[in-house]
Amino acid sequence: MLTRRQVLRGAVSLAGSALAPSLIGCAAPGPRWSADPFSLGVASGDPRPDGFVLWTRLAPEPLSPDPATPGGMSGAAIPIAYEIASDPAMRSVVRRGTALAEPDFAWSVHVEVSGLAPGRPYWYRFAAGAAQSPVGRAMTAPAPGSPLERLRFGFVSCANYELGYFSAYRHLAAEEPELVIFLGDYIYEFTGRRPGVRGHSDGTAAHDLRTYRNRYAQYRTDADLQRLHATVPALMTWDDHEVQNDYAGEWSETFDHPAKFLQRRAAAYRAYYEHMPLRPSLSHPDGPSMRIYDRFTFGDLVEFSVLDGRQYRSREACYGPPDKGGGHQETVTGCPELLDPRRSFLGFAQERWLYDGLARSQARWNVIAQDQLMAELRERTGDGSIAYWTDDWNGYPEARKRLLTHLHEARVANPVVIGGDIHSFWANNLKLDFGDPRAPVVASEFVGSSVTSLGPPYETFVKWLPDNPHVHFFESRRRGYVSVELTAERMNVAMRVVSDVTDPKATVATLKSFVVENGRAGPIAA
């Protein structure tokens, strides 16, 4: 816990407006710092053909417990200088500018850069007063339709800070892919449920702006996560733990009145925005609403539809106090609501946006990046009946059928669904009718294991697999991430595992590799 004195020591002093020589070019009056204000690192995201978003947040005391001094900051908005160069040594600067770090957003900045050349890396850094950030790498996307030979990306999910070190992030950063896609559970809002290797600083479940801010800040003090963000541009979506376990739209898992839960959601979404490289023109938070679903096109090779699986979803099926909060098992006979076509996983506006975009896409590959397992998972219960988990796509089978039918009927090229949430690796066929062996395979699905979070019981899930022949591979005992290399002809998928999440120096290895061939849906073991 920080003392009051430490907070003050870390706080910014604008008094005197000393002429601190800016390290990135022009001498300018700036704040004097008694601790590094760039303690949370830098990030880039939102790659477009002519620009991207650059992010940082001033936080000389990142875990300041005082709500009046988030990150150890107080007082007025502060201009932050940035520069963008065409080389990693920052010698050929192509752009300089200033962004305003505002108290309302915890002194974070989101710089929307445009006017750059397509399809190339850039490097950037920030300065405030005499303090200078590390250098980060950003990229512009190749223009839509322009030839792109290959793209490498990784995807990650479910990084519980308390349960392990983020070696998966470090090893993915070392691979230097063009992109990393965060598929949710970037933080965990709860704390101390299991003995871990380190603790959340406040020892309390995040529930308001101060506690969500500090949760994100603590994750961002992690050196492996900082390195990943500084090295690799990010596409972002969330799952439940960015707000609360198993929430669905305005419905919390604990039956709060929706209006009350929406206040909490507003605080959580705002803190998320303050810490992510999201573009303000799309994602500026508006009370409990914040749009993060978006699409990204890379030349003629791939279009990513990055979805929001939480904000707009219908309430979970057969939900109700006292014993059915959040995810639970239901059979279709016991819970006919499961099959109600008025229920949606994405919300109908996002569904329309997705279907329109996929129908128009000219890309060779169409990756649907979202938070959860999409394949049907028939769970045989003790009495022999088949149940479904209500918190993932299995709780929204009609919405899944609409999406898969659209992929099939609109002849979307090479659709691949990627997801997280379930803390295990999966390679699946997505079929129009999972119960019919002759039904067409319309898409491929890969789910990545957690960065650190504990996997579901292996033996239990393995017993279910004979009822789920569309599942090619399942492994819940290992932690890691997924690395993908895309070319016009193939998608190469490597499931990467770390040796031990309790070892900060864990090594990495490939557990299993798959290929998807152009024009043929479904993973093939490599």
Q: Site residues (CB under 5 A) for Fe ion?
A: 158, 185, 453
**Residue 421, interface with Ca ion (CB under 5 A)?**
yes
Stretch that binds Ca ion, among 220-228, 239-247, 315-323, 333-341 (CB under 5 A): 239-247
- Residue closer to Ca ion, measured from CB, 37 or 448: 448
Q: Which does 226 bind (CB under 5 to 8 A by kind): Ca ion, Fe ion, none?
A: none
Q: How many CA atoms lie within 13 A of 81 on its CB side?
A: 21
Q: How many CA atoms lie within 13 A of 292 on its CB side?
A: 31
The least CB distance from residue 478 to Fe ion, in Å, is: 15
Q: Which does 253 bind (CB under 5 to 8 A by kind): Fe ion, Ca ion, none?
A: none
The least CB distance from residue 241 to Ca ion, in Å, is: 6
Binding string, residues 166-195; x marks residues near Ca ion by CB under 5 A: -------------------x----------
**Kind and range of the H or E run holding 170:** helix 167-175
- Residue closer to Fe ion, measured from CB, 242 or 303: 242
Phi-psi region of 257 (alpha: psi -120 to 50; beta: other; left: phi over 0): beta
- Residue closer to Ca ion, measured from CB, 124 or 426: 426
The Cα 269–Cα 286 span in angstroms is 9
Q: Which does 242 bind (CB under 5 to 8 A by kind): Fe ion, Ca ion, none?
A: none
Alpha helix ranges (H) inside 314-424: 348-360, 397-409
Q: Is the dihedral of CA 318, 321, 322, 323 positive or negative?
A: positive
SS3 344: coil
* Beta carbons of 405 and 416 less than 8 angstroms apart: no
Give how far Cα 410 sits from Cα of 352, 358, 361, 407, 442, Å.
13, 8, 10, 6, 11
Position among 239, 303, 330, 445 found at the interface with Ca ion (CB under 5 A): 239
Reference 78, options 152, 2, 12, 171; nearest CA is 12
- Residue closer to Ca ion, measured from CB, 224 or 239: 239
Reference 138, options 228, 50, 53; nearest CA is 53
**Residue 475, interface with Ca ion (CB under 5 A)?**
no
The least CB distance from residue 339 to Ca ion, in Å, is: 24
91: number of Cβ within 10 Å: 9
* Beta carbons of 85 and 91 less than 8 angstroms apart: yes
- Residue closer to Fe ion, measured from CB, 350 or 453: 453
Per the DSSP assignment, residues forming a β-bridge with 520 are 517
Q: Which does 429 bind (CB under 5 to 8 A by kind): Ca ion, Fe ion, none?
A: none
**Residue 308, interface with Ca ion (CB under 5 A)?**
no
Position among 61, 162, 240, 308 found at the interface with Ca ion (CB under 5 A): 240
The Cα 222–Cα 227 span in angstroms is 9
Q: Which residues fall within 8 angstroms of residue 136, CB to CB, at 6 or more apart?
A: 41, 42, 43, 44, 54, 123, 124, 125, 229, 230, 231
- Residue closer to Ca ion, measured from CB, 189 or 421: 421
- Residue closer to Fe ion, measured from CB, 46 or 240: 240
The Cα 476–Cα 348 span in angstroms is 32
Q: How many residues bind Ca ion (CB under 5 A)?
A: 4
The least CB distance from residue 433 to Fe ion, in Å, is: 29
The least CB distance from residue 392 to Ca ion, in Å, is: 9
- Residue closer to Ca ion, measured from CB, 157 or 344: 157
Phi, psi of 187 (to 5 degrees): -125, 170
The least CB distance from residue 179 to Ca ion, in Å, is: 22
Q: Which does 240 bind (CB under 5 to 8 A by kind): Fe ion, Ca ion, none?
A: Ca ion
Q: Which does 271 bind (CB under 5 to 8 A by kind): Ca ion, Fe ion, none?
A: none
Stretch that binds Ca ion, among 15-23, 94-102, 378-386, 414-422 (CB under 5 A): 414-422
The least CB distance from residue 391 to Fe ion, in Å, is: 11
Give how far Cα 365 sits from Cα of 128, 297, 486, 517, Å.
42, 10, 8, 10
Q: Which does 475 bind (CB under 5 to 8 A by kind): Fe ion, Ca ion, none?
A: none
**Residue 316, interface with Ca ion (CB under 5 A)?**
no
Per the DSSP assignment, residues forming a β-bridge with 453 are none
Stretch that binds Ca ion, among 233-241, 402-410, 445-453, 491-499 (CB under 5 A): 233-241
- Residue closer to Ca ion, measured from CB, 276 or 422: 422
- Residue closer to Fe ion, measured from CB, 58 or 158: 158
The least CB distance from residue 371 to Fe ion, in Å, is: 9
- Residue closer to Fe ion, measured from CB, 239 or 303: 239
Contact residues toward Ca ion (CB under 5 A) are: 185, 239-240, 421
